[in-house]
Amino acid sequence: MGQSPSAALDRESSFSHRFGFLSSSSLGSSDGFSDEILANRDFTAEIPDECLAYVFQFLGPGDRNRCSLVCKRWLCVDGWSRYRLSLDAQSEIEASLPSIFMRFDSITKLTLRCSRRSISLNDGALVAISVRCQNLTRLKLRGCREISDKGMSTFAKNSKNLRKLSCGSCTFGAKALNAVLDYCSNLEELSVKRLRGIHDGAEAIGPGTAASSLKTICLKELVNGQSFEPLVVGAKNLKALKIIHCLGDWDRVLQLIGNRNRNGKENLHLNNYNSNGNNDALMEIHLERLQVSDIGLSAISKCAKIENLYIVKTPDCSNYGLVSVAEHCKLLKKLHVDGWRTNRIGDEGLVAVAKHCPNLEELVLVGVNATHLSLGAIASNCSKLERLALCGSGTIGNTEIACIAAKCMALKKLCIKGCPISDIAIEALGSGCPSLVKIKLRKCRGVSCEAGEWLREQRGSLVINMDACEVDGGFEASVSNGGIHEVGVDYPQVVSQVVDRDASTSSNGRLALLRSKFGLFASRNFVACTFRRWSNNEDSFNGNL
């Protein structure tokens, strides 16, 4: 952003012609101007276009659109300084496209979105756009059902600088994607969702000229997942692979990836931890609702550089596969497992993770029956663990939380959802996990509001996010049988948990103290007050800004 040496020049050429007599006195001095004149001056005219454009960068598209209506200069400046545009891609827009792209001549990121109710723009319009947007680096298409293979091919020919393509709910097919991958040799990210134009017997989709540039591939809800196999295997420098709910034989694909580069000469010089690994750049794999089994996981284990692994709702994966990954992927930092309550992944797999993956920073377990055996091991051995989430598991109770509290020294964020823990677990957290910054509790019916309040008092700096105790306006008649009954429903449950699962000795006494301190049968109004107090206290707790 260069500044012209003479500010006076800018002023004289400014749009606001009120003051043609502007002196060449330096900026900032108000001598020569009366207050009245100052009050009517357009100061925006005195900053160069580049500065005005910089101001616009702090505005969203809505505000920018309104700025464009202020005056012609603002229209112009906004036009050339807009890099990102999101258009309503209906067929009627075609007539306006020439003027739109004359006005916005620097677009690099374009979104064309068409709702289901409208007819989208067609091939001709898309090609016209590609001719005008020579610097397009990112394109997002949503619901552009009138665009065919031919249109996409021509578009691709005109868009050599494309780095990212994301298409969802479109109807073109394999030919279109192959064209993109052939012409756009700098393509780094490809995301395909619900592409309906790929029929049985369609050609396979290969990486084309983008084989070495592709870094991220995301495939979602594709019926013909197998058409994409050559693409996934052929993208040699792939860093992240996400496959969600696609039909296909992904075990085979993962095996091919796992065996990639294995026979190359480079392998001889690897500083592998074992001879099993390869030189693959793959760092992140996300598998969700797929036909993938332990064979696939074992194949993944050959990618020694894997740091993030998401295994979500894949019922054919078991402990065996997780053990295999853990043993060979020692750089693992993030692990998400959603066992879908099939009980095939549990302690055995997680103990292996504890043993072999000391770099683990984040662990999320959903519907996985882990117990203190594995959680304790992870807590002890994964000394870098900072984020832990445990959801929907019937085996995670007070013992497990006590274990975590005692051993997770680096833990900063903890989330527990829908697990049978009780106030005893909260007590354990009162004194454990020294690094804890934030805790979130959802749908843990055994945990009372009073316990949350207690924890808040114990650990002043901890941010606690709990289910809001219901502020029921209609519940004014609080201390009635109805009131006691509702609160009482929780109590027996808690008591039985104390009896069954209590490992720590003195907590009975402490629990009693807790109860008497806050009054178990406190009216709903008390709870409501507590909630309001929390929300006011939240105010002073936001240290992490």
Partner 1 sequence: MGSTSTKIKLRTSDQKVFEVEKAVAVQSQTIKYIYENGCPDSVIHVHSVSGDILSKILDYCKKHVNSAAGKEDISPEELYEWDANFVKVDQNTLFDLILAANCLKIESLLDLTCQTVANMIKGKRPEEIRTTFNIKNDYTIEAEEAVRRENKWAFDMLGGVGTMVIEELADDTMSKCVTNTKSRVCVIAANQIVMMRSISKLANKKSIDVYKQPQNPTTPRIKESVKQRNVGTGFIELFFHFKCKM
Residues near partner 1 (CB under 8 A) are: 1, 3, 5-7, 15-18, 26-30, 38-48, 50-51, 54-72, 74-75, 85-88, 93, 96, 99-100, 103, 111, 113, 438, 440, 463, 465, 535, 538-539, 542, 544-545
In the complex with partner 1, the residue whose CB is nearer, 86 or 274, is 86
- Calculate the CA dihedral of residues 262, 268, 270, 276 and round it to 10 degrees: 40
Which DSSP state fits 104? Answer: S
Q: 434 with 386: CB under 8 angstroms?
A: no
- Least Cβ distance, residue 60 to partner 1 (angstroms): 4
- Least Cβ distance, residue 381 to partner 1 (angstroms): 28
Helix (H, G, I), strand (E, B) or coil at 255: helix
In the complex with partner 1, the residue whose CB is nearer, 389 or 484, is 389
3-state SS, one letter per residue, for 6-64: CHHHHHHCCCCCCCCCCCCCCCCCCCCCCHHHHHCCCHHHHCCHHHHHHHHCCCCHHHH
In the complex with partner 1, the residue whose CB is nearer, 55 or 503, is 55
- Least Cβ distance, residue 307 to partner 1 (angstroms): 19
Looking at 64-159, which runs of residues are DSSP E strands?
84-88, 109-113, 138-142
- How does DSSP assign 388-451, residue by residue? EEEES-TT--HHHHHHHHHH-SS--EEEEES----HHHHHHHHHS-TT--EEEEES-TT--HHH
- Least Cβ distance, residue 513 to partner 1 (angstroms): 29
> Burial letters for 244-264: b for 16+ Cβ neighbours within 10 Å, e otherwise?
bbbebebbbbbbebbebbeee
- Least Cβ distance, residue 295 to partner 1 (angstroms): 35
In the complex with partner 1, the residue whose CB is nearer, 99 or 506, is 99
Separation between Cα atoms, residue 136 and residue 126, nearest integer Å:
13
In the complex with partner 1, the residue whose CB is nearer, 55 or 489, is 55
**Cβ atoms < 10 Å from Cβ of 360:** 25
In the complex with partner 1, the residue whose CB is nearer, 51 or 223, is 51
List Cβ<8 Å contacts ≥24 apart for 470-478. 470/524, 470/527, 471/527, 471/528, 471/531, 471/532, 472/524, 475/524, 478/523, 478/524, 478/525
Q: 244 with 220: CB under 8 angstroms?
A: yes
Which DSSP state fits 468? Answer: P
Q: 437 with 462: CB under 8 angstroms?
A: yes
In the complex with partner 1, the residue whose CB is nearer, 13 or 26, is 26
- Least Cβ distance, residue 536 to partner 1 (angstroms): 9
Find the angle CA(75)-CA(81)-CA(84) to the nearest 5 degrees.
110
Token pair of 207, please? 């990486």
Separation between Cα atoms, residue 120 and residue 89, nearest integer Å:
6
* Residue 40 burial class via C-beta count within 10 angstroms: exposed 0-12, middle 13-18, buried 19 and up: exposed
- How does DSSP assign 271-308, residue by residue? --SSTT-------EEEEES-S--HHHHHHHTT-TT--E
- Least Cβ distance, residue 45 to partner 1 (angstroms): 8
- Least Cβ distance, residue 110 to partner 1 (angstroms): 11
In the complex with partner 1, the residue whose CB is nearer, 26 or 506, is 26
Question: What is the pairing mode between strands 109-113 and 138-142?
Answer: parallel
Q: 417 with 389: CB under 8 angstroms?
A: yes
In the complex with partner 1, the residue whose CB is nearer, 24 or 135, is 24
In the complex with partner 1, the residue whose CB is nearer, 93 or 231, is 93
Cβ partners under 8 Å of residue 379, min gap 6: 385, 403, 404, 406, 407, 408
- Least Cβ distance, residue 86 to partner 1 (angstroms): 4
- Least Cβ distance, residue 104 to partner 1 (angstroms): 8
- Least Cβ distance, residue 248 to partner 1 (angstroms): 28
- Least Cβ distance, residue 35 to partner 1 (angstroms): 10
- Least Cβ distance, residue 41 to partner 1 (angstroms): 6
In the complex with partner 1, the residue whose CB is nearer, 426 or 514, is 426
In the complex with partner 1, the residue whose CB is nearer, 406 or 462, is 462
In the complex with partner 1, the residue whose CB is nearer, 54 or 491, is 54
